[in-house]
């Protein structure tokens, strides 16, 4: 990542991927990464070295499924979509994120 791009906390990428697939539906990896970057206002830059290991991990968890298809540029690509388990996991991930940010907010608002 370049210095002007934000880094995201460990584990956050899973939530961003799951939520993007929930919102957008079936996407291939490159389109998924570009969509996350777009929604971030270009403050995130995702490399293949970060997005694809996360996709593999999410597939191993059973939260996403893959199918082969053809991209907009007529290339054979793997498309990712949420499973039923993945749909449930989105809610879990959001709840966990809300708890985490509430905890951090308490510390940021605390006075010595």
5 token code pair: 């791009």
Single out the residue of 88, 82, 86, 89 nearest to residue 24, CA to CA: 82
| pLDDT on residue 15 | 95
* Helix or strand (DSSP H, E) at 80: strand 76-82
> How distant, in Å, are the alpha carbons of 37, 49, 72 from that of 75?
22, 20, 7
- The CATH fold of domain 12-109: Arc Repressor Mutant, subunit A (1.10.10)
pLDDT at 1: 39
pLDDT, residue 3, reads 47
Name the residue among 1, 12, 39 with its Cα closest to residue 97.
Answer: 12
Q: What local confidence, expressed as pLDDT, does residue 10 receive?
A: 76
Give the residue ranges of the chain where pLDDT is below 50: 1-4
Q: 3-state class of 38 per DSSP? A: helix
CB 66 within 8 A of CB 59: yes
């Amino acid at each position: 990542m370049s210095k002007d791009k934000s880094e995201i906390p460990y584990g956050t990428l899973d939530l961003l991927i799951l939520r993007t697939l929930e919102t957008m539906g079936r996407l291939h990896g490159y389109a998924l990464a570009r969509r996350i970057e777009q929604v971030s206002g270009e403050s995130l830059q995702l490399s293949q070295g970060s997005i694809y290991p996360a996709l593999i991990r999410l597939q191993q968890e059973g939260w996403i499924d893959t199918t082969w298809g053809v991209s907009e540029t007529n290339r054979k690509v793997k498309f990712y979509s949420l499973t039923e388990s993945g749909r449930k996991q989105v809610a879990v991930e959001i709840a966990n994120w809300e708890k985490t940010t509430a905890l951090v907010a308490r510390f940021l608002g605390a006075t010595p």
